[in-house]
Amino acid sequence: MNTVQSGFVPLTRAEYDTLTKLLGELLQTQHAPVIIPGEAIIGIEAIAAGIAAPGRRFLNIVTGPYGTLFGEWLERGGAEVVELRVPFDEVVTAEAVEAAIASSQPQAISFVHAEVVTGGSNPAKSILELARRHELISVIDSVSAVGGEELPIDAWGADLVAIGAQKALGGPNGVSAVSVSPRGWAYIESNARAPRNSILSLLDLRPPGEGQAFRVPPSIPTLEARALIAALADTEAEGLDRVIRRHELAAESAAAGLQALGLEGWQRDASRRSTLTTTVRIGGEDRLRIGQPVGIVAPGDGELRGRLLRINHFGANASQESVEKAVRTLAGLLETDEAAALAAVRSVWEAAR
């Protein structure tokens, strides 16, 4: 008899439980997050599919390309979408969100927490306060924010939160997670359109209660899940506060370096810059129009190409060394002396020691 040997080793229940526990600790939630067997964008699309329906009105905040995409997915599900959009060199203010809630009277509100593409960061805590006050279901794309900014999900009352490990946490991108509050589950369960038997079904992937079996056993990519467990364990060992602090220092020191080089930040409000990426306004400086990334210095994506440069100082690159290297790259492009800019970067890190 021939036997076919399969190389597939499924994730054990113990590993699944470890992953769930580490994610819950990272996100400071008591509710077991859904583990998404794929990239974070699948979790975001699954949220849209689970909550969108005719008769449901959403206020979708658009401060970058992922917000546009989310709104399209909500509309595909038949929802009515009111958009609050700002130019991509800004983020929203809590005042603008409050006015938009008052005029549109939505059931739910959605936004991207930290925008790696534009280098902006929305005031998540304030927006979630407004959502709670107006009893709105809240949806956040925190894929890049997690590990770079605080995200205490239960304390902030966030209902549906997508996260990934491949940005600030330096983990894999083939497995991700969606945190769902009890209110969030009720909002999905009360939607007759919420998918079942689909890659986009959060209901199929819903974690079983203690001692219960899965409704549908999930096929989570084992190697990716183990890499995620390792990345989460590393984060826990370093301390989430320290990981976030490292990202803050990377952003502060990059800003100091840019200033010394006479360059302008792309994001207009310096207090609302993301800790993951620092974006540089190109303006009339043709020497900054690069075609390919140079280390962590990258051209803008899509419509932002030629308008900004991105310094991707996240994950392992949220370090003094990486920011110094990026500043050297920029000085090289400008054919200018790098010494003052490097000193500015160093002084930020040294002051924090």
Ligand X SMILES: *Cc1c(COP(=O)(O)O)cnc(C)c1O
Nearer to ligand X, 117 or 260 (CB): 117
Q: How far is the CB of 39 from ligand X (least distance, A)?
A: 3
Q: How far is the CB of 141 from ligand X (least distance, A)?
A: 5
Nearer to ligand X, 116 or 228 (CB): 116
Q: How far is the CB of 288 from ligand X (least distance, A)?
A: 23
Backbone angles phi, psi at 252, to 5 degrees: -60, -45
Q: How far is the CB of 145 from ligand X (least distance, A)?
A: 7
Nearer to ligand X, 315 or 331 (CB): 315
Q: How far is the CB of 167 from ligand X (least distance, A)?
A: 6
Q: How far is the CB of 70 from ligand X (least distance, A)?
A: 9
Residue 260 parent element (H or E): helix 240-260
Q: SS in 3 state form for the chain?
A: CCCCCCCCCCCCHHHHHHHHHHHHHHHCCCCCCEEECCCHHHHHHHHHHHHCCCCCEEEEEECCHHHHHHHHHHHHCCCEEEEEECCCCCCCCHHHHHHHHHHHCCCEEEEECEECCCCEECCHHHHHHHHHHCCCEEEEECCCCECCECCCHHHHCCCEEEECCCCCCCCCCCCEEEEECHHHHHHHHCCCCCCCCCCCCHHHHCCCCCCCCCCCCCCCCHHHHHHHHHHHHHHHHHCHHHHHHHHHHHHHHHHHHHHHCCCCECCCCHHHECCCEEEEECCCCHHHCCCCCECCEEECCHHHCCCEEEEECCHHHCCHHHHHHHHHHHHHHHCCCCHHHHHHHHHHHHHCC
Nearer to ligand X, 149 or 324 (CB): 149
What residues form DSSP beta bridges with 59?
Answer: 82, 109
Which chain residues interact with ligand X by CB under 6 A?
39-41, 66, 112, 116, 141, 143-144, 164, 166-167, 173
Q: How far is the CB of 1 from ligand X (least distance, A)?
A: 43
Nearer to ligand X, 235 or 274 (CB): 274
Nearer to ligand X, 40 or 101 (CB): 40
Q: First and final CA of the chain: distance in angstroms? A: 67
Nearer to ligand X, 41 or 263 (CB): 41
Question: CA angle 303-307-310, nearest 5°?
Answer: 95
Nearer to ligand X, 120 or 257 (CB): 120
Q: How far is the CB of 262 from ligand X (least distance, A)?
A: 29
Nearer to ligand X, 56 or 167 (CB): 167
